[in-house]
Structure 1
Amino acid sequence: MRNNLKLLGELQEIDLKIDLLHGEKDTLLGEIAALENSVVEARNVIAEKSAEAVSLEEAKKALEESLAVESENIVRSEARLKEIKTQKEYQAVSKEISSAKKLTVELEEQILQKVGQFEELQKVMAEKQENLNALEVNIAAQQGELQTKVDKLEAEIAAGVVAKDAAVKGLPASIMKRYYKLRDQRRGLAVVEAKDGSCLGCNMNLPPQLYNSLFRGDDVITCPHCQRMLILRQETEN
Structure 2
Amino acid sequence: MRKNLFLLEELQALDLKIDGRHAERQTLLERLAELDRQVEEARCAVEEKRGEIARLEEEKQGLEGDLATENDNIDRSEARQKEIKTQKEYQAVVKEVTAARKLKGELEEQILQKSAQIEELSADVAARAADLASLEENMASRKAEVQADLDRLDQEIATEAEAKASTAKSIPSSLLKRYEALRQRRQGVAIVEARAGNCAGCNMNLPPQLYNSLFRGDDLVLCPHCQRMLVVHPEG
Distance in 2 of aligned mates of 1:161 and 1:167 = 10
Residue matched to 2:221: 221
Distance in 1 of aligned mates of 2:223 and 2:79 = 107
Residue matched to 2:7: 7
Give the C-alpha shift of residue 139 in structure 1. 1.3
TM-score, L = length of structure 2: 0.96
Q: Is the 8 A contact 2:206 2:223 kept in 1?
A: yes
Is 1:166 paired with 2:171? no
Q: Cα deviation per residue 1:72-122 (whole Å; 9 max; x = unaligned)? A: 111111111112222112111111110101111110111111111111111
Give the C-alpha shift of residue 2 in structure 1. 2.1
Residue matched to 1:187: 187
Query: Once structures 1 and 2 are overlaid, which stretch shifts more, 13-22 or 170-179?
Result: 170-179
Is 1:19 paired with 2:19? yes
Distance in 2 of aligned mates of 1:87 and 1:220 = 120
Is 1:129 paired with 2:129? yes
SS at match of 1:221: coil
Is 1:86 paired with 2:86? yes
Distance in 2 of aligned mates of 1:234 and 1:40 = 59
Q: How many residues align?
A: 236
> Taking every aligned residue pair, what percent have the same amino acid on both sides?
56
Is 1:196 paired with 2:196? yes
Amino acid in structure 2 at the alignment position of 1:139 = M
SS at match of 2:75: helix
Residue matched to 2:100: 100
Is 1:44 paired with 2:44? yes
Amino acid in structure 2 at the alignment position of 1:185 = R
TM-score, L = length of structure 1: 0.95
Distance in 2 of aligned mates of 1:85 and 1:142 = 82
Amino acid in structure 2 at the alignment position of 1:33 = A
Residue matched to 2:147: 147
Distance in 1 of aligned mates of 2:17 and 2:193 = 16
SS at match of 1:111: helix
Distance in 2 of aligned mates of 1:187 and 1:93 = 91
RMSD: 1.4
Residue matched to 2:116: 116
